[in-house]
Amino acid sequence: MDMDTARTLVGVLGNIISLILFLSPLPTFIKIIKANSVQAFKPDPYVATILNCAVWMFYGLPIVHPDSLLVVTINGAGLAIETVFIIIFFIYSTWGGRRKILIILFCEAVFVALVVVATLMCFDTYKDRSMIVGLIAIVFNVLMYAAPLTVMVSATVDPTQILYRGAKRVMFVG
């Protein structure tokens, strides 16, 4: 087996795994639809994934990084899946939740547009474009995987309790 075939096979396997990852919140959205409410769920992981997929899709375009069809296809699929999730989240959210989603999505769209314009205007070679967009994509990839932690932290930690416990320890130690 030559290197190109191996690379394609590994890429297809990675896309299958990524597709499963993108679909993993499906049980959450079934709960949201059944309850007619987002309940205590937060949109953070889904809007973070939308931004991540948008940046990776740009990275995979031939004007940035040629021969990256698998990057474009899986991130296009991820963008479509997460958009459906956000629409469901939007439908079942309160007005405040909807407003938050709209503001975040607007900021993400502006950011991606700025990245596209700056990349195409400031970098002339594929190597330079791939490097800068790749670095940006990696940062947002990390943020996408960290986004669910915001849900876990906000659901388990009350900031006032941290301050109260910290103050008690200072009073007893000091």
pLDDT digits (tens, 9 = 90+) for 31-71: 999 999 999 888 989 999 999 999 999 999 999 999 899 99
Higher pLDDT, 32 or 1: 32
pLDDT one-digit tens code per residue, 129-164: 999 999 999 998 888 888 777 766 555 555 555 444
- How far is 85 from 44, CA to CA, in rounded Å? 12
Residue 6 has pLDDT above 50, yes or no: yes
Read off the pTM.
0.81
Residues 6+ apart with CB under 8 A from 49: 22, 78, 82, 144, 147
Domain limits of the chain?
3-173
| pLDDT at residue 169, rounded to an integer | 43
Q: At 127, phi and psi to the nearest 5?
A: -60, -50
Query: Using alpha carbons only, what angle is made at residue 133 by residues 85 and 146, rounded to the nearest 5 degrees?
Result: 45
Biggest alpha carbon–alpha carbon distance for the chain: 68
